[in-house]
Amino acid sequence: MDRLVLSSPAKVNFGLWVGRKRADGFHDIVTIIAPIELHDTVSIRKTAHGISVEPWSRAVEAKAKVKAKAEALRSSDSTSTSTSASIPWDSSNLAYLAAEKFFKSARLDAGCSIRVRKRIPVGGGLGGGSSNAATVLVGLNRMFGLPLGPRRLRLVATSLGSDVPAFLIGGPCIARGRGEKLRRIQLPRLDLLLCLPGFPVPTAWAYGELDRLRKAGQGLTRPVISPKILRAGFRRDESDRVAAQLSNSFEPAVFRRYPALNLAKELLLRHGALAASLSGSGSTVYGLVRTKGWKDPMAALARNGFHCVKTRTL
């Protein structure tokens, strides 16, 4: 096959415990990663040589850049946009790096053209870049006759970033270590309301701020994340048990710097969500909701300037 078009799903973190910084510069984590229906679309086409990555439509991208500049002028924070206009479409793009590492690992003298239709907000804690990278690895491996087995593919994914291997699993998983120790788990299909604030939270800043606060006396919590307890809580509709499982180590640091995200969580809980949490290091805050007989918090969030998207876990 010479061309593939694949879905590249976003994810949410059902709970995220972050430990101390390790000697290798990473942090130990424990989290449940669940892919969701919100997705980008990745098109991969074989070429004789070279790698290119570009947005799905240059016309759409041009409009996005104009919109991003207008929003930046209206805001005192020049990083407040999360459109594809803020994505580097060059060799630093994670999808480009994934293709480069794939060809090197597979020892293939070939190239590809990659186009990405972005729907996942940039810098939102939903793993869009990592998902794109994993999708490129899976697509190229399929396109070139599976030269890499599962173990080698996961090694390549791990070298690209801590979240990338989880997107190879194809379903919910629990991640430990720096994110490379993965175990597939079973979860029920869950309905979510994503609150998208329209600005990114830099991951490097979030880890640095978490370390700084801990040095100032904020103690380390212990991981309480358990797929078994989480599943039982969903089945029995025990909101307190579910909320405890969704605890996120980043929230104190991120909410202090971005109080609007704390407000989003409060509004979700006040207006009908079973539980709510920050995804990753932010900026997305999500609420677990019911499909029937629930009070929809979207109107309350919209009144406070938040854009929301309904989605489900895969």
For the question of residue 11 being annotated catalytic, the response is: yes
| pTM of the predicted protein model | 0.87
**Which of the residues 40, 101, 118, 163 is marked catalytic?**
163
Residue 118: both structure tokens together: 């972005």
CATH architecture for the domain at 3-184: 2-Layer Sandwich (3.30)
For residues 153-191, b (16+ Cβ closer than 10 Å) or e, as one string? bbebbbebbbbbbbbbbeebbbbbbbbbebeebebeebb
For the question of residue 296 being annotated catalytic, the response is: no
Domain range annotation of the chain: 3-184, 191-312
- From the number of C-beta atoms within 10 Å of its C-beta (0-12, 13-18, 19+), residue 20 rates as exposed
**Which of the residues 11, 101, 118, 265 is marked catalytic?**
11
**What amino acid occupies position 277?**
S
Radius of gyration of the chain from Cα atoms?
19
**What amino acid occupies position 247?**
S
CATH of domain 191-312: 3.30.70.890
Per-residue pLDDT 10s for the chain (314 aa) are 899 999 999 999 999 999 888 898 889 999 999 999 999 999 999 999 999 999 987 544 555 555 544 444 343 333 333 455 578 899 999 999 999 999 999 999 999 999 999 999 999 999 999 999 999 999 999 999 999 999 999 999 999 999 999 999 999 999 999 999 999 999 889 999 999 999 999 999 999 999 998 887 665 566 667 777 677 766 666 777 777 888 899 999 999 999 999 999 999 999 989 899 999 999 999 999 876 666 778 888 999 989 999 999 99
End-to-end CA distance of the chain: 27
